Amino acid sequence: MYYKKDPVFPADFLWGASSAAWQVEGGVAEGGRTPAIIDLNSKTKKPYADNSVTADHYHHVKEDVALMAECGFSSYRFSISWSRIIPRSDGEVNPEGVAFYNSLIDELVAHRITPIVTLYHYDMPVWVDEELGGWHSRRVIDAFDHYVRVCFNAFGDRVKYWLSINEQNMQICYGKWLGVDKGCKDWEKEKWQINHIMNLCHAKAVVACHELVPGGKIGPVPGYVPIYPESCRPEDQIAAMNAEELTEKIWNDLYAYGEYSGFVRKYWRDHDIDPDIRPGDMELLKAAKIDFFALNCYRSNVAKDCKPGDAHTELQLNKSGVKGEFVYPKYPGEYQLAANPFVETTDWDWEIDPIAMRYMLRYMWDHYHLPMMITENGFGAHETLGEDGRIHDQARIDFLRQQIYQVGMAIMDGCDVIGYNPWSFTDLLSTGNGMAKRYGLVFINTTDEDVLDLRRVKKDSFYWYSNLIRSNGQDWQR
């Protein structure tokens, strides 16, 4: 649909940005925090820096929140580090960890910025992994339940928007990359067991939030990559549907309806990979009624037919930031991914596709009729301070302008979208590429090789976004 006027955003739309504890905080051995599995995973990503310092938000909370307020934010999405709150297997609450997040939340509230809090963003405490068996074992369910209840009780008087597990679908689809497959002998089978346990953790969090947080709302955070068929060949359309099911719909149906779809049950049966579903599990999943979807969307995919006899190819992410390294996977009998000649790409081969944003919002609204907020979307780039001491990130401004415009178009189409929180506020550690791939509206003066003075420098995109926020999405400065 085309419209005669620019989009109009709701008056109470939540404009902000996003981060995750392990990627922004640093201070990994301070304030009683114990190690998380992602700390160890980030150490394997050399030549990139690990997460021990990153943006050092742990020591810059007041300065960072003041910058958010200067930008005009009405929301900020961040995550809580489980091992700061519960550092050991005795389950004792760490008062210093609680105090740290209290100081952040109080600072946000004092600046009228709505906190949006992720409970789990890849950073399982090492003690959960080593002493309880991590995601492989049902013992994690009670430990997670304890942790989230501590968070709801400690912060629920001020935090009303909660997010359960970040990109569970990506953790299962790309288990190797995110370190979730550690210790698995047969990942293709065991991942569905891990997934079921994650679903139970998510469900417990939803139930506990509604029980403990007056007026609290909670939703999952799928990573969503719209998938287009490569051509109008009917086989390509079915391949695109297969890809949609196997990377996204299986999860979204479960969150929305509290049950496993016929598609996934059949898939498990055909491959003899049924997870261990015990009495009471399905009742718990059904009882977990989410309030909204939080959606992360950066790019789109193209799928095409892949015959059963074709050779299997594993997806390989671009790790260098030099275009052309991404390897499109082939899953014989299901689908294969391919390049899209109609869109540009970033230096990491991520498709730059603003229409994908509108597509996702339309698709999710049509399927689930739940409010939605964008919790990640952004432009990763190589960046160094210019001679004038500034960052002129026009490409990021263009990216954000087009993406946000399409959020507006989806609202014009009738979708219920309540906020936009791009990745990321400050530069922070990229999951794949350390400090070499920057997303921030605010530059952090540090590199993978050396920790520098960690000075905060507002990029041009900071000023552009600030103007857009202050006009509630009217001043596009084209």
Least Å distance between CB 37 and ligand BGP?
14
Report the candidate in 119, 158, 77 with the shortest Cα–Cα distance to residue 419: 77
Of these residues, 167, 244, 245, 383, which one is catalytic? 167
Least Å distance between CB 293 and ligand BGP?
15
Q: State phi, psi for 74 to the nearest 5 degrees.
A: -110, 0
Q: Which residue is nearest to ligand BGP (CB)?
A: 430
Cis check: omega of the bond before 47, within 30 degrees of 0: yes
20 scored as a contact of ligand BGP (CB under 6 A): yes
Cis check: omega of the bond before 308, within 30 degrees of 0: no
Among the listed ranges 28-36, 107-115, 166-174, 354-362, the one in contact with ligand BGP (CB under 6 A) is 166-174
Q: Pick between residue 356 and residue 411 the one whose CB is nearest to ligand BGP.
A: 356
167 scored as a contact of ligand BGP (CB under 6 A): yes
Specify burial of residue 122 (Cβ count, 10 A radius: 0-12, 13-18, 19+): buried
Among the listed ranges 264-272, 389-397, 424-432, 444-452, the one in contact with ligand BGP (CB under 6 A) is 424-432
Report the candidate in 254, 259, 230, 255 with the shortest Cα–Cα distance to residue 242: 230
Among the listed ranges 163-171, 265-273, 402-410, 454-462, the one in contact with ligand BGP (CB under 6 A) is 163-171
Q: Show the binding pattern over residues 213-242: x = contacts ligand BGP (CB under 6 A), - = does not.
A: ----------x-------------------
Q: Pick between residue 229 and residue 321 the one whose CB is nearest to ligand BGP.
A: 321
296 scored as a contact of ligand BGP (CB under 6 A): yes
Q: Pick between residue 242 and residue 430 the one whose CB is nearest to ligand BGP.
A: 430
Q: Pick between residue 20 and residue 108 the one whose CB is nearest to ligand BGP.
A: 20
Q: Pick between residue 299 and residue 304 the one whose CB is nearest to ligand BGP.
A: 299
376 scored as a contact of ligand BGP (CB under 6 A): yes
Report the candidate in 79, 153, 77 with the shortest Cα–Cα distance to residue 113: 77
Tokens of residue 228, six digits? 């287009």
Q: Pick between residue 160 and residue 437 the one whose CB is nearest to ligand BGP.
A: 437
346 scored as a contact of ligand BGP (CB under 6 A): no
Least Å distance between CB 449 and ligand BGP?
18
Q: Pick between residue 20 and residue 306 the one whose CB is nearest to ligand BGP.
A: 20
Neighbour-count burial for 380-416, b at 16+ CB within 10 Å, e otherwise:
bbebeeeeeeebebeebbbbbbebbbbbbbbbbbebe
Strands 335-338 and 456-458 come out as: unpaired
Tokens of residue 254, six digits? 């479960």
Say how far apart CA 195 and CA 251 lie, in whole Å: 9
Say how far apart CA 177 and CA 172 lie, in whole Å: 10
Say how far apart CA 193 and CA 135 lie, in whole Å: 9
How many residues are listed for the chain in this entry? 478
Kindly tell me the number of DSSP H helices and DSSP E strands found in the chain.
17, 16
Judge whether 387 counts as a catalytic residue. no
Least Å distance between CB 28 and ligand BGP?
16
Element (H, E) at 138: none
Site residues for ligand BGP, 237-266, by CB under 6 A, read: none
Q: Pick between residue 134 and residue 380 the one whose CB is nearest to ligand BGP.
A: 380
Least Å distance between CB 163 and ligand BGP?
11
Q: Pick between residue 56 and residue 167 the one whose CB is nearest to ligand BGP.
A: 167
Size of the site for ligand BGP (CB under 6 A): 14
Which parts of 313-447 fold into alpha helices (H)? 354-368, 394-412
Judge whether 63 counts as a catalytic residue. no
Report the largest interatomic distance among the alpha carbons of the chain, rounded to a whole angstrom. 64
Among the listed ranges 265-273, 414-422, 423-431, 453-461, the one in contact with ligand BGP (CB under 6 A) is 423-431
Query: Are 374 and 421 contacting, i.e. CB atoms less than 8 angstroms apart?
Result: yes
Q: State phi, psi for 273 to the nearest 5 degrees.
A: -130, 30
Query: Are 27 and 56 contacting, i.e. CB atoms less than 8 angstroms apart?
Result: yes
Query: Are 408 and 8 contacting, i.e. CB atoms less than 8 angstroms apart?
Result: yes
Least Å distance between CB 269 and ligand BGP?
30
Q: Show the binding pattern over residues 425-444: x = contacts ligand BGP (CB under 6 A), - = does not.
A: -----xxx----x-------
Least Å distance between CB 380 and ligand BGP?
5
Distances from the Cα of 169 to the Cαs of 126, 165, 192, 409, in angstroms? 22, 10, 11, 27
Of these residues, 230, 245, 376, 383, which one is catalytic? 376
Q: Where are the beta strands (DSSP E) in 203-308?
A: 217-221, 227-229, 293-296, 301-304
Q: Which residues belong to the active site? A: 167, 376
Q: Which residues bind ligand BGP (CB under 6 A)?
A: 20, 23, 166-167, 170, 223, 296, 376, 380, 423, 430-432, 437
